[in-house]
Amino acid sequence: MMDETGEEEEEAWLQLRPVEPLPSQCCGSGCSPCVFDLYHRELARWEAARASKDRSLLSGEESQSCPSKLNPETFLAFRISAVDRLTKDTYRIRFALPRNSQLGLRPGQHLILRGKVDDLEIQRAYTPISPANAEGYFEVLIKCYQTGLMSRYVESWSAGDTAFWRGPFGDFFYKPNQYGELLMLASGTGLAPMVPVLQSITDNAEDETFVTLVGCFKTFEGIYLKTFLQEQARFWNVRTFFVLSQENSPEQLPWSYREKTRFGRLAQDLIEELVGSCRRKPFALVCGSAEFTKDMARYLLCAGLGEDSCFLF
């Protein structure tokens, strides 16, 4: 039978037991380590410490010093320096980095944002759109939804606030001249991982990779980063196209967009046309909703691009 001192000690250990994450705390992006991986790791550490009655084992190596660099396992605080509303529901957020440092991501990698709404912790994945070598800042593109918990959190932001990120994550690692041509298929904010990859190519005079970027949006007004995309399309090796699902009149578009804009959905016939018009054998990058990604993978396969010729973000 446990005496009072033993009961108090047992209660103290139970208070130190890691709390299992809620489903809302998983971003669903397949990150490694996932928030559940971290929980099971901490739980094993707690069980070992409890069995040996040595609380020093709970600290682990990570807590011996305050982390100063981005880490996949530890959330770091970043100050918001600017909030720019691009459309009625999409924002470009700039975060400050200390002493003109760089974030340390490769083009196309993403981060995990932690938010808290109504005492419920949530986590979501976002890809920075700033250049990989940007100094002193990084930017993300975030679309907000009426019923989204993270959207409520993001819409409460203003310059000077602090947000918590961990990372980097992502298995696509671009190398200059690795592919003859990149065929980028993006829907909505799926444009985000394409932006730093594209800019890394045009910023490097020795990278002669061709790029064909196709952005799918509902309306012309809803196209993100128009100025950036127009500037990129001036490079000799870059082409941009747009597919608008809720418009059907080229006369309503600026002249510079009429020849490179289609209406409706990005479907099999247009994918085959795009693949056929590529100047070199393409490697496809796809990012968008789960439905969009699934459809594009099927269309690309029918157009002759196998699984080894595409990457799905």
| Order of strands, sheet of 110-117, starting from the edge strand that comes earlier in the sequence | 120-126, 110-117, 162-169, 76-85, 90-96, 137-143
For the record, the structure tokens of 301 come out as 């396969």
Residue type, 125: A
For residue 224, say whether it is annotated as part of any ligand binding site: no
Question: Are residues 168 and 81 in contact, defined by beta-carbon separation less than 8 angstroms?
Answer: no
| Helical spans, DSSP H, in the chain | 4-16, 35-52, 149-155, 194-202, 226-232, 255-258, 268-277, 290-302
For residue 124, say whether it is annotated as part of any ligand binding site: yes
The position carrying tokens 């890691």 is 18
For residue 175, say whether it is annotated as part of any ligand binding site: no
The position carrying tokens 């509902």 is 218
For the record, the structure tokens of 38 come out as 């971290």
For residue 126, say whether it is annotated as part of any ligand binding site: yes
For the record, the structure tokens of 244 come out as 């608008």
Q: Torsion angle, CA of 146/147/149/152, rounded to 10 degrees?
A: 30
For residue 141, say whether it is annotated as part of any ligand binding site: yes
Q: DSSP label at 21?
A: P
- E-assigned strands of the chain? 76-85, 90-96, 110-117, 120-126, 137-143, 162-169, 181-187, 210-217, 238-244, 261-263, 282-287, 310-312
Residues flagged as binding site: 124, 126, 141, 143, 150-151
Residues flagged as binding site for FAD: 124, 126, 141, 143, 150-151
